[in-house]
Amino acid sequence: MLRESVRALAEAKIAPFATQVDEEARFPQEALDALVSNDLHAVHVPESYGGAGADALATVIVIEEVARACASSSLIPAVNKLGSLPVILSGSEELKKKYLGPLATGDAMFSYCLSEPDAGSDAAGMKTKAVRDGDHYILNGVKRWITNAGVSEYYTVMAVTDPEKRSKGISAFVVEKGDEGVSFGAPEKKLGIKGSPTREVYLDNVRIPADRMIGAEGTGFATAMKTLDHTRITIAAQALGIAQGALDYAKGYVQERKQFGKPIGDFQGVQFMLADMAMKLEAARQLTYAAAAKSERISAGGKAEDLTFFGAAAKCYASDAAMEITTDAVQLLGGYGYTRDYPLERMMRDAKITQIYEGTNQVQRIVMARNLP
């Protein structure tokens, strides 16, 4: 029922704008409005804070179905979870009440600020600093590759509070868009997901109350990594949706397109391509759903090592599969697949980022190797 209702909403309210959103590289406001009005923009927020209280699998299905129509739009529910999960996992009760409520009602979006110009895969090498000043902290630094920056009201920011301790000297804070000293760079000109703004976030003597720290001082990096264990699954979900959209379109096309007197879908070479695409997609889906189940068991006190492996495996496998499937879908349309008159070149461009963000797939393989079940 959830899948059917989200798919119907996505096809009616999100898909019609997907091409335009990509062409104009503009934020998909229509998608945000549709998701908020149907309470699907941040389904992971617990009911106790006014949210839908969806589990990890339900959240995956929502993201997957939105991504099937428009990958940029799927980053609304995905990044709302990424940005707010540190507060859910480690924040004080006061922080949860203050920030999860507006997120649940759709009055605010949440972004996640970990990466920096010189700290990508080596996130612990960050330079952004937070210095204690009485009952406040003063933040200075630059965060790069921040999804939905400038649109989101709230930002989970990782900053160094003790430079001597490397990863154990990093703390997490909630920064608000309206805080004095917060500004944004120009939107990045990207290959794909053009409708989701990616910008730098500048922190220039941003003074925030000390009670906006998420968890204890020095625990920010651990919270950031714990968060990624859960949210890598949402990127796997995005990859699934993009791949499903591409497969569905290609499947329809090969039944219509005729060459040598019959539909090209009747040729064994084409059938084998479709079979491989569907097989890889279903394998990716099962792995992703299994990882989502692990995510729930962790929440109830399961083994963290299992989730770390499964989250990395799902993200890595699903995104690699999405890149292969979208590339093959373009191939099945021939010259038409290469033009912007058809949606597959967009899906292929959108799929690429799923292999890169929330940890490159090379890093995912390192994570998996270190956490073999």
Q: Which residues are catalytic?
A: 358
User: Rounded to 5 degrees, what are φ and ψ at 197?
Assistant: -65, 135
Token pair in block for residue 232:
């890598």
CA distances from 144 to 55, 112, 116, 119, 322 (A): 30, 10, 5, 9, 25
Distance CA(30)–CA(13), nearest Å, equals: 7
Burial of residue 344 (CB within 10 Å: 0-12, 13-18, 19+) is: buried
Segment 59-63 long-range contacts (CB within 8 Å, at least 24 positions apart) = 59/234, 59/237, 59/292, 60/233, 60/234, 60/236, 60/237, 60/240, 60/288, 60/289, 60/292, 61/2, 61/3, 61/6, 61/237, 62/2, 62/6, 63/234, 63/237, 63/238, 63/241
Burial of residue 169 (CB within 10 Å: 0-12, 13-18, 19+) is: middle
Alpha helices in 147-219 (DSSP H): none
Token pair in block for residue 46:
């617990």
- Of 291, 288, 268, give the one whose Cα is nearest residue 373: 291
Helices vs strands, H then E, count in the chain: 11, 10
- First-residue to last-residue Cα distance in the chain: 33
Half-sphere exposure (Cβ direction) of 249: Cα atoms closer than 13 Å: 27
According to DSSP, the residues that pair with 110 across neighbouring strands are: 154
Distance CA(23)–CA(8), nearest Å, equals: 24
Q: Which residues contact 59 (CB under 8 A, 6 or more apart)?
A: 43, 44, 77, 81, 234, 237, 292
